[in-house]
């Protein structure tokens, strides 16, 4: 398995077939997001988007304790208001890049996903959490507010009551409650997290890439516009998949009672 893990980069990547695993790699700081990590993630996601051999991305955190324990508090402590805004924009830009990836991104939430960590998980398309994971928006305890889209994405994912509760109290919740609130898609025992995540990733890696992309685009757009525009956009995307070989292959394979082989063409 080809792997890039430079000691001076806070993000490492490894390919497992068509699945690229991107790991935030600052375990001694519970993978806190400083500016360098935000930038490295942006570069890693750009590369995964551009590489036709990559069909699915899995995002996780290094070490046994944390997915990401938030934005880097030590780095934020000294920021001026202008620098604070730029730090927020930097994170928001990167997370928007993740959300708008043309291929599925799965967050493998292996521990604390707090503040910027939950914000990062929420911009992924799917989230699988270990039973031991804890998620929350604890910024209030620092006299802060979420700055990488937390108030907005949590609101859309879990609704007003849960968002107000998590943001105003700052109290983390366990994985079972996160599942109940729709913040994560699945919860599995810690020992099974990697295998279950890879199983899902491989399933998606075998699906028709251009249809996956069309759906991600429709769902992103639909979350941000009115129903008429969203339906219109879906119809256009629906028409577009008729231009793909994969659609001919998928429908032909069904009629011929065989397994389809999708090429992303
Ligand atoms: N920013 C910077 N450093 C962080 C961090 C963050 N968000 N979260 C953890 N760290 C660092 C700690 O400072 C510590 O570094 P040190 O060993 O050099 O002192 C190291 O990571 C381990 O963290 P520690 O607090 O000792 O682990 P713990 O198991 O006792 O507690 C948490 C774990 C997650 C409860 C605790 O680290 C925490 O509350 N982190 C901050 C969460 C947060 O507020 N996030 C939102 C930020 S906007």
DSSP structure string for 231-261? HHHHHHHHHHHTTSHHHHHHHHHHHTTS---
Tell me whether residue 234 is one of the annotated catalytic residues.
no
**Ligand 1 pocket test: which of 69, 70, 146 has the largest number of ligand atoms within 8 Å of its C-beta?**
69
Q: pLDDT digit string (tens) for 177-222?
A: 999 999 999 999 999 999 999 999 999 999 999 999 999 999 999 9
Length of the chain in terms of residues written: 265
- Other CB atoms within 10 A of residue 174 CB: 16
- Other CB atoms within 10 A of residue 182 CB: 12
Q: Which of 212, 201, 214 is nearest to 262 (CA)?
A: 212
- Other CB atoms within 10 A of residue 160 CB: 9
pLDDT for position 8: 61
With H, G, I as helix, E, B as strand and everything else as coil, classify residue 70.
coil
**Alpha helices (H) along 113-226:** 116-122, 150-169, 175-180, 193-205, 209-222
Q: List per-block mean pLDDT (blocks of 10 residues) for the chain, which spans 265 residues.
A: 56 98 98 98 98 98 97 97 98 98 98 98 98 98 98 97 98 98 98 98 98 97 94 97 97 97 95
Tell me whether residue 261 is one of the annotated catalytic residues.
no
* C-beta of residue 25 within 8 angstroms of C-beta of residue 212: no
Q: Which residues contact 31 (CB under 8 A, 6 or more apart)?
A: 24, 25, 37, 61, 62, 63, 66, 67, 68, 69, 117
Q: pLDDT digit string (tens) for 7-17?
A: 468 999 999 99
**Ligand 1 pocket test: which of 10, 25, 27, 29 has the largest number of ligand atoms within 8 Å of its C-beta?**
29
Query: What lines the ligand 1 site, CB under 6 Å?
Result: 29-30, 32, 69-74, 112, 114-116, 138-139, 142, 144
Cα dihedral sign for 193, 195, 201, 204? negative
Q: Which residue has the tokens 């992309």?
A: 213
pLDDT for position 207: 97
Burial (CB count <10 Å: 0-12, 13-18, 19+), residue 56: buried
Task: Tell me the percentage of the chain whose pLDDT exceeds 70.
Answer: 97
| CA dihedral of 6, 16, 216, 139, whole degrees rounded to 10 | -40
- Selected catalytic residue, list 75, 119, 196, 202: 119
Give pTM, 2 decimals.
Answer: 0.96
């Amino acid at each position: 398995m080809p792997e890039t893990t430079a000691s001076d980069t806070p993000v490492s990547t490894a390919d497992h077939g068509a699945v690229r695993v991107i790991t935030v790699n600052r375990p001694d700081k519970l993978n806190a997001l400083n500016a360098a990590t935000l930038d490295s993630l942006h570069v890693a996601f750009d590369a995964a988007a551009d590489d036709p051999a990559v069909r699915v991305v899995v995002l996780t955190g290094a070490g046994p304790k944390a997915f990401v324990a938030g934005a880097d508090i030590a780095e934020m402590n000294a920021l001026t208001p202008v620098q604070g805004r730029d730090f927020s924009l930097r994170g928001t830009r990167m997370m928007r890049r993740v959300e708008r990836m043309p291929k599925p991104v799965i967050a493998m939430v292996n521990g604390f996903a707090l503040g910027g960590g939950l914000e990062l998980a929420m911009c992924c398309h799917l989230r699988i959490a270990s039973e031991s994971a804890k998620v929350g928006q604890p910024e209030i305890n620092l006299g802060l507010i979420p700055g990488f889209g937390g108030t907005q994405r949590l609101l859309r994912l879990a609704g007003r009551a849960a968002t107000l509760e998590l943001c105003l109290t700052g109290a983390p919740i366990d994985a079972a409650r996160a599942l109940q609130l729709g913040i994560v898609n699945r919860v599995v025992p810690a020992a099974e997290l990697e295998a279950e995540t890879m199983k899902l990733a491989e399933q998606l890696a075998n699906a028709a890439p251009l249809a996956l992309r069309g759906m991600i685009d429709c769902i992103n757009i639909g979350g941000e516009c009115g129903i008429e525009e969203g339906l219109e956009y879906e119809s256009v995307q629906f028409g577009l998949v008729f231009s793909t070989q994969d659609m001919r292959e998928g429908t032909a394979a069904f009629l011929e009672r065989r397994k389809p082989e999708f090429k992303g063409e």
